Amino acid sequence: MIELRNVSKSYVLNGTRKVVARDLNFTFPSGESVGLLGRNGAGKSSLLRMLAGTMLPDTGEILSSGTISWPVGFSGSFHPELTGAQNVRFVARLYGVDTEAMIAFVRDFAEIGQHFHLPVRSYSSGMRSRLAFGISMAVPFDTYLIDEVTAVGDAAFSAKSNAILRARLEESGAVIVSHSMPLLKKLCRSGAVLHDGQLFYYERIEQAIRHHESMMRGALPRWMRGDLDEGEGEEAGAAARGPAAGGPQGPARLPGRASPEADSPPRGEDRRSRSRASPGSPARSEPLPSQSLDRSAPLRLSPPDLPARAQRPPMRGSGRTCGTPSFRNEHLRCGCHGNGR
């Protein structure tokens, strides 16, 4: 199980703030493969790195029970001067896996011959990919993190990689980022759509794909616009039923709805979506945005923009008003000073 508690993350690029997560509260179901969808730049890979622990959120915390893998197929930690076998031995000792058994497994799986006992710096990109994927499959995890890489190598090795990955996912869960809809349908049962820092979860991957495809066309899904047919409304309503749809606190509910059986399929993850008015609090002068939506629409409240980080003062160079930097043993010339010192 992986639980996000009030997780927020953003970047500042060229003076523009890019939001990856807005106060997310969500629990990834245990032992289930969840497809993570979103347009390019939505923050899927950043969210995956936060789940792996290689990136910290700005605020909030991520809790987990069980072991979580590094991104499957990651080869950036290989020591180039060590052989493939020595790198495997090092990883086995880190994760407490039987060293000789893991070396034998990766050697047979990677099929790189005598290169397995040569320095990794001499490997081609294909050899590195085979070694990295073999190491990822050799260590058992409760949850695998997969970012686009599900198979490597030629057609025969790719089929072999797919087969062993599906065997691992029969006993473990996964969070899978991919732009291949057929692959997500094959590997995942449920799905989540990351958009504008909010996470919308569906118990059926097909419904998450419909949401994603609608957003790629620049439109809201039909159930969020409130123009569902009766049959589609029943299908959308059934998508979010079950304990995983609402996480540990139950499914999100629209105002005025008492029955959880009628809850909507997606959840716009927001801490304020779970808040309740305290006794004696003043009544709202305006209705919630979700009150104008259809019964199958999600409760989606947008939090205020994150505060901008403090701007650094402009750099100045050695007290000169023009900002020209000075360097030792060099004479600089600028238009406002004439000859440098």
Half-sphere exposure of 24 toward its Cβ, with a 13 Å CA cutoff?
Answer: 31
Q: Is pLDDT at 284 greater than 70 in this prediction?
A: no
What local confidence, expressed as pLDDT, does residue 153 receive?
74
Mean pLDDT, rounded, for 135-163: 87
What local confidence, expressed as pLDDT, does residue 275 receive?
39
> DSSP string spanning 248-270?
GG-----TT---GGG--S-----
- Pairwise CA distance, residues 334 & 341, whole Å: 11
Mean pLDDT, rounded, for 221-245: 54
Mean pLDDT, rounded, for 124-146: 93
pLDDT tens-place string over residues 209-222: 999 999 898 888 88
Contact 179, 80 (CB under 8 A): no
What local confidence, expressed as pLDDT, does residue 157 receive?
87
Confidence tier at 227 by pLDDT (50, 70, 90): low
Which of 70-74, 185-189, 334-338 is predicted least confidently?
334-338
- Pairwise CA distance, residues 243 & 303, whole Å: 26
What local confidence, expressed as pLDDT, does residue 56 receive?
93
The partner residues of 199 in beta bridges, in order of sequence, read 194
What local confidence, expressed as pLDDT, does residue 104 receive?
96
pLDDT tens-place string over residues 180-211: 899 899 999 999 999 999 999 999 999 999 99
Confidence tier at 122 by pLDDT (50, 70, 90): very high
CA 215 to chain CA centroid, Å, is 18
pLDDT tens-place string over residues 46-62: 999 999 998 999 999 99
pLDDT tens-place string over residues 6-39: 999 998 988 889 999 999 999 998 899 999 999 9
